[in-house]
Amino acid sequence: ASSTWRNVAQGPPVRITEAFKADSFDKKINLGVGAYRDDQGKPYVLPSVRKAEDKVIASRMNKEYAGITGVPEFTKAAAVLAYGKDSSALDRLAITQSISGTGALRIGGAFLARWFPGAKTIYVPQPSWANHAAVFKDSGLTVNKYNYYSKDTLGLNLEMMLGDINAAYPGSIFLFHACAHNPTGVDPTEEQWKKIEAAVKAKGHYAFFDMAYQGFASGDVDKDAFAVRYFVSQGHDICLAQSFAKNMGLYGERVGAFSVVCANQSEKARVDSQIKILVRPMYSNPPIHGARIAAEILNTPELYEQWLGEVKEMADRIITMRALLKENLEKLGSQHDWSHITNQIGMFAYTGLTPEQMDQLAKEHSVYATKDGRISVAGITSENVGRLAEAIFKVKG
Ligand code: PLP
């Protein structure tokens, strides 16, 4: 008998997690996951999140639907966090709650595909978070790449990046990682952002920011929002995807926001109405629990202060692990320059190791990460950093 789905092709397996699970070595190291781990290698729930959640539960709110654009106490506070409390953008901002950062990108992609007046082409950095291209393609945009990372310097290739911005068809969309670029950990400096802004403006391009790590990069939520706020201050009516997965550790709660800076109130009202028209047939309205937790933190001064301290602690632990990894490699006598490990920022380090060396790390040393040489620094602990450095030293020297 013929079956209905006989033409469905098998998708590729998600290899790292499976190989890690199958490995019986008790000192195996998983550097493939994109989630923070504490120094014992355990998932971490922020104490401020526990407190906020207790308050939310104790208040015994009902479970009625949120509106299409979500919990207003959350979206208002999310906007202030991103744009700054004195931002001129706040009262002309169309904003909606989203299914974390991915959902925000997807709503943004769909909104641009339907309403962007220029070329419906979005340029994403090469390399970028693997999901960017898929999200934007499925949203109906054409996806192109711009140069970003230099394999020679293991840093930003600003010249080629600016060249690509200049060469793109005027009025194209450019996706920028606001901070903690994934996968490279390479961010432009503030001076470099100014050059990037000037190039974007000169060609009439449109900037779409993905801010999945605000506070998580430098430990300072304002510093990490520099690029977003700078573009707005220079007159760009940007759009922005925000995630609270990493900076609040709310991964599975799926808390995020998508916002569009508009020229005025009338534009804001029209954009807002069209965002609702997009969201309604996708999922009607977003989940409320995680947004209530985030709102409680952002709107309660003591909880907010506590949270800022906890984000900084996470960022600092990652920065410390970078330094320890470099130090250990040098102690072993490695002749390579490992300063990119400490120059990079955020959850991921781009080691510069080849796919073959990454294979060897997995097969011979039970260290698992993606083939592109990206390791999750969040998976490094005081306990395993020595063994990790030895493994890298053995495969690379
Ligand atoms: N954007 C970037 C650059 C990311 O690295 C991630 C998560 O890894 C996301 C967006 C979205 O994550 P989430 O949907 O969990 O908020």
What single string gives the DSSP state of each residue in 371-389? TTSEEEGGG--TTTHHHHH
Q: Note if 145 is an active site residue.
A: no
Please give the pLDDT value at position 19: 86
Please give the pLDDT value at position 97: 98
* Atom 7 of ligand 1: nearest residue by CA position: 212
Q: Output the CA 101–ligand 1 centroid distance in Å.
A: 5
Q: Kindly name the residue from 210, 268, 272, 307 that is annotated as catalytic.
A: 210
Please choose from 33, 131, 135, 348 the residue to mutate so as to test ligand 1's pocket, defined by most ligand atoms within 8 A of CB: 131
102 lines ligand 1 (CB under 6 A): yes
Rounded to whole angstroms, how far apart are CA atoms 290 and 67? 15
Q: Output the CA 241–ligand 1 centroid distance in Å.
A: 9
* Atom 5 of ligand 1: nearest residue by CA position: 182
Q: E strands along 24-171, which residues?
A: 29-30, 93-99, 121-126, 142-147, 149-150, 155-156
Q: Which CATH architecture has domain 65-299?
A: 3-Layer(aba) Sandwich (3.40)
Please give the pLDDT value at position 118: 87
* Secondary-structure class of domain 15-45+312-396 per CATH: alpha beta
Q: Note if 151 is an active site residue.
A: no
Q: Which atom of ligand 1 is nearest to the CA of 243?
A: 16
Please give the pLDDT value at position 15: 66
Q: Which atom of ligand 1 is nearest to the CA of 102?
A: 14
Please give the pLDDT value at position 1: 65
Please choose from 122, 124, 176, 182 the residue to mutate so as to test ligand 1's pocket, defined by most ligand atoms within 8 A of CB: 182
Rounded to whole angstroms, how far apart are CA atoms 198 and 53? 43
Q: Output the CA 184–ligand 1 centroid distance in Å.
A: 14
Q: Which two tokens stand for residue 360?
A: 């060897």
Rounded to whole angstroms, how far apart are CA atoms 259 and 244? 14
70 lines ligand 1 (CB under 6 A): no
182 lines ligand 1 (CB under 6 A): yes
136 lines ligand 1 (CB under 6 A): no
242 lines ligand 1 (CB under 6 A): no
The single-letter DSSP state of residue 366 is -
Q: Note if 129 is an active site residue.
A: yes
Q: Which of 247, 295, 263 has its CA nearest to residue 97?
A: 295
34 lines ligand 1 (CB under 6 A): yes
Q: Output the CA 252–ligand 1 centroid distance in Å.
A: 12
132 lines ligand 1 (CB under 6 A): no
Q: Which atom of ligand 1 is nearest to the CA of 105?
A: 10
Within 10 angstroms of residue 152's Cβ, the number of other Cβ atoms is 7
Domain boundaries along the sequence of the chain: 15-45+312-396, 65-299
Please choose from 179, 243, 347, 374 the residue to mutate so as to test ligand 1's pocket, defined by most ligand atoms within 8 A of CB: 243
Here the contacts of 380-383 (C-beta below 8 Å, separation 24 or greater) are 380/29, 380/31, 380/321, 380/324, 380/325, 381/37, 381/39, 381/40, 381/41, 381/321, 382/39, 382/324, 383/39, 383/40, 383/41
Q: Output the CA 319–ligand 1 centroid distance in Å.
A: 20
Q: Tens-of-pLDDT digits for all 397 residues of the chain?
A: 689 999 999 998 766 678 899 999 999 999 998 899 999 999 999 999 999 999 999 999 999 999 999 999 999 999 999 999 999 999 999 999 999 999 999 999 999 999 999 889 999 999 999 999 999 999 999 999 999 999 999 999 999 999 999 999 999 999 999 999 999 999 999 999 999 999 999 999 999 999 999 999 999 999 999 999 999 999 999 999 999 999 999 999 999 999 999 999 999 999 999 999 999 999 999 999 999 999 999 999 999 999 999 999 999 999 999 999 999 999 999 999 999 999 999 999 999 999 999 999 999 999 999 999 999 999 999 999 999 999 999 999 8
212 lines ligand 1 (CB under 6 A): yes
Q: Output the CA 256–ligand 1 centroid distance in Å.
A: 10
Q: Which of 113, 128, 114, 236 has its CA nearest to residue 185?
A: 128
